[in-house]
């Protein structure tokens, strides 16, 4: 379980949910429709859910 997260001032989305993806990565769900996977170094990869073929 993630107890807290700090975000920079340039973040223009709100985090709706957060959980561990692996032991060294977290997954964030945000109000802009993206799921973000972040490494401990806070490098991210983002994917808009409405653009994915989720079958």
pTM here is 0.56
Tell the residue number behind the tokens 């994915």, with chain if given: 52
Every domain of the chain and the residues it spans = 1-48
Q: In the chain, pLDDT over 70 holds for what percent of residues?
A: 58
Q: Are 14 and 30 in contact (CB under 8 A)?
A: yes
At residue 41, φ and ψ (nearest 5 deg) are -80, 5
Residue 46 in contact with residue 32, Cβ under 8 Å? no
Distances (CA, A) of 33 to 10, 17, 25, 46: 18, 12, 19, 10
- For 1-52, what is each residue's pLDDT tens digit? 456 666 667 777 888 888 888 888 888 888 888 888 887 766 655 556 666 6
């Amino acid at each position: 379980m993630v107890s807290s997260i700090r975000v920079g001032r340039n973040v223009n989305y709100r985090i709706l949910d957060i959980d561990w993806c692996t032991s060294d990565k977290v997954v964030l769900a945000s109000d802009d429709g993206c799921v973000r996977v972040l490494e401990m170094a806070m490098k991210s990869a983002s994917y808009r859910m409405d653009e994915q073929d989720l079958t």
